[in-house]
Amino acid sequence: MKKLNIAIITGGIVAERGISLKSAKMVYKHLNRRKYKPYLIDFDGKNFIEQSSKKKLNKNDFTFIKDKQKIKIDLAFLMLHGSPAEDGRLQGFLDVMGVPYTGCDHFVSSLTFDKQSCKIFLKDFDIPMADSKLVLKGEKLNINAIAKMGFPLFVKPNKNGSSYGVTKVENKKGIQPAVEKAFQFDNEVIIEAFLKGREFSNGVFRKGDKIVVLPITEIISKNDFFDYKAKYENESEEVTPAKLSKKDTTSCQARSKKLYQILGCKGLVRFDYIKMSNTFYFLEANTIPGFSEQSIFPQQAIAAGMTIKELLDAVVEERMG
């Protein structure tokens, strides 16, 4: 049986570049060598570069030359966090090129990457969410209107991941600096009401025709909230499976499955929540979730009794099976 040539596309020129490289190495390590021939492809903002040969992929047919042979990519495994993959731009390019890829399509990726647009889309589907306001760059801030949402508030880039540019604001004086900080990462800023509760995350993927909802993780940050250091520098405790009642576990997993279906997701997607009282409030969807050794999604797969190799097989077979 001919092995599939899989391009693990990673890198990028965004804040999440370092996380993307770690995630891609994990995928490269665990892809089944009996079925696939993986290549690490670093996107430098303009070119796709195969890492072992340092050869550029031909963007006209998505091929490259290695050891005097022309290698044609059968599948792009997207492991590039942030733009241009999580916002759908890369998927649009691959669609035009006729190259199959893992995960959500360009529309779903674009929608979920835009936090405020995603919340507006979900309003008609009875999904509990925090109140929020969108601020555009150059727009005059109405501090008093924002303050009516109550304190504390969270101020964050509307289209960015990995908790870059996020600030917890305790009073009126903190709003302006927090918005300016978030504008360093995006031209749109979302301001959200604070939800006081426990934080949870839940991964979902497809295995054949079945939607599989993984065990839930509780995130207990050592910091004021689940910021970059808590996510990637071991400044949080992650409990998988989360210590929840059977009723709460069923409720959260049902919400994750519903979101996956409503949004039209494919591949690996992770949904984040805050639990207040008996309700799981939706925070955001991650359509290319972190996949390093420390990341939540692999933890959940292992807790479900899967190997990482089996999980990646399911992702590839969803697209190519």
The closest of 225, 226, 269 to 111, measured between CA atoms, is: 269
Residue tagged active-site, from 20, 83, 286, 295: 286
Catalytic site residue from 232, 267, 273, 313: 232
Would you call 188 a catalytic residue per the annotation?
no
Identify whether 281 is a catalytic site residue: no
CA-to-CA separations, 7 to 25, 62, 159, 182, 289, in angstroms, rounded: 12, 10, 26, 33, 18
- Six-digit token string for 269: 């997607």
Catalytic site residue from 255, 290, 292, 295: 290
Query: Which residue's entry shows tokens 């890492």?
Result: 51
Q: How far is CA 232 from the centre of its chain?
A: 14
Task: Select which of 23, 132, 162, 292 is catalytic.
Answer: 162
Assess whether 33 carries a catalytic annotation. Answer: no
- Is 286 marked active-site? yes
Q: Does the annotation mark 23 as catalytic?
A: no
245 among known catalytic residues: no
Q: Distance between CA 141 and CA 267 in Å, rounded?
A: 39
Residue 164 falls in the annotated catalytic set: no
Question: Cα separation of 109 and 90, whole Å?
Answer: 10
Of the listed 11, 12, 16, 273, which one is catalytic? 16
Catalytic residue among 74, 272, 313, 318: 272
Query: Looking at 95, 248, 284, 310, which residue is catalytic?
Result: 284
Active site residue: 11, 20, 270, 318, which one?
270
284 is catalytic: yes
- Helix-helix angle 17-30:308-320, to 10 degrees: 90
Which residue type, as a one-letter code, is found at position 240?
T
**What one-character-per-residue DSSP string does 223-252 give?**
SSSS-HHHHHSS-EEEESS----HHHHHHH
Catalytic residues: 16, 162, 232, 270, 272, 284, 286, 290
